[in-house]
Structure 1
Amino acid sequence: MGAVHGDSGVVQSSPWAAVLVVFCIGLVFLRFALLLRRIWRHRENASLRRNYTGSLLVVLGSGGHTAEALEMLKHISASSVRLERVVYVVAKTDSYSASKAANDHEELLPNVPHKFYFVPRAREVGQSYWTAVISTVYAVLYSLSIVPRENPGVLLVNGPGTCVPLAISAFLFNFLLVTKCRIIFVESIARVKSLSLSGKVLYPFADRFLVQWPILSYRYRLCEYHGRLI
């Protein structure tokens, strides 16, 4: 499969061999990027500081994710953090989260501008993992323009499938030095002994990975436990 012989006797490379080489090189670069990411994480404090001033990108999702995200926003509004604007990203089929966030935002942060982006879901409830790969790639491509366009200082996610394309997009643009967006993953309080699927995917990419049960910080070296956050 590595080569085929034409009638002229010249050895021609198989296109699959070239694809395999490019794929392997891509894996090497990705691995190198993740190693650099881990080094940077230990060298600088990438948390949402109390004196932080800038924009915030929040990903909402069904199944309790929106309620938890808005609860975190409530804590932020009560702190000394000064937000320039808040950008919400919601799945196109999740009308409840958009309505809930719009109402709560007016109560919590009435003087802070906000806007919404509606994106395709990376994975629908009950969708198989294999077909989810295709829908995730499509969602990533669809979401690519949001991060560089808004250039948020912090991306706050807590596990909905919609957050995976946004976090990967932020990681890629950070790596390309287009943006400097801190990715903060807050695992759902419902995850007691293991990480969610989104958490497992984004575990290597997040600048800070916060969990709400101590056992998770013992099992996963990069996880941080600072008590209940919600």
Structure 2
Amino acid sequence: MKKKTTKICMISSSGGHLKELNELIEISEQYETFQITEKDKFSNIKIGTRQYYVNKIDRDEKNFLFHFFILFLKIFQIFAVEKPKVIVTTGALVAYPACLIGKLMRAKVIFIESYARTETLSLTGKLVYRLSDLFIVQWPDLSKKYSKAKYYGELF
């Protein structure tokens, strides 16, 4: 089957966020897709035809702001080459720069809140809420609390 030409960026932090994103792997079979994630033990999960890896950073680390700025630059470089039309993300930290840069480049943003978030949004969810074109939650009660949120079921 010939892939559709809309280019999609699948981006998430490693670990559970990446495992949730991997549940949408069919998208990469239908569309031109590339992946951005953190380089670690979950790097064997590959979505799309191209993978890009960024350094894992933590909000509590000493040089967080510097590393976060570097993350913005790295994602900007990737997007300058790839020019995605859609960004699909399950969060966390790595997702915010991608969503912000993507919106500036007129890409559509689809954010899927973590299955672990049953009562409130994650920090990334709160930051991306206004930027998103489609904001998906995996618990029906969350869709009642946040007017923009849509519930379509769970990824797992």
Q: Specify if TM > 0.5.
A: yes
Structure number, greater radius of gyration: 1
| Count of paired positions | 154
1:115-145: CA deviation from partner (whole Å, max 9, x where unpaired): 1112234x42x616x9544432331122112
Q: Is 1:98 the counterpart of 2:75 in the alignment?
A: no
Give the aligned partner of residue 206 of structure 1: 132
1:183 aligned partner: 109
Query: Does 2:8 align with 1:56?
Result: yes
Q: Which residue of 2 aligns with 1:18?
A: none
CA distance in 1, matches of 2:83, 2:116: 31
Which is strand-richer, 1 or 2? 2
C-alpha contact 2:11 2:94 (8 A) present in aligned 1: yes
Match of 1:82 among 26, 30, 42: 30
- Residue pair 1:53, 1:82 contacting (<8 A) in 2 also: no
% identical aligned pairs: 28
User: 1:213, 1:225 within 8 Å by CA — same for their partners in 2?
Assistant: yes
Once the two structures are TM-superposed, the CA of residue 53 in structure 1 deviates from its matched residue by 4.4
Give the aligned residue type for 2:54: V
Q: Structure 1 CA distance, aligned partners of 2:23 and 2:147?
A: 26
Cα deviation per residue 1:79-100 (whole Å; 9 max; x = unaligned)?
xx731x2211122xx3323222
The structure whose RCO (Cα within 8 Å, separation 6+) is larger is 2
Q: 2:17, 2:92 within 8 Å by CA — same for their partners in 1?
A: yes
Change (3 A) 1:127 1:86: same
Structure-2-length-normalised TM-score: 0.84
Contact 1:61 1:97 in 2 (8 A): no
Q: Which has the higher helix share?
A: 1
Over the aligned positions, Cα root-mean-square deviation in angstroms equals: 2.4
TM-score (norm 1): 0.59
Structure 1 runs not aligned, ≥5 long: 1-50, 106-112, 175-180
- Out of 40, 53, 58, the position equivalent to 1:118 is 53
- Alignment of 1:147 with 2:79, yes or no, is yes
Structure 2 counterparts to residues 28-67 of structure 1, below 5 A: 53-67=5-19
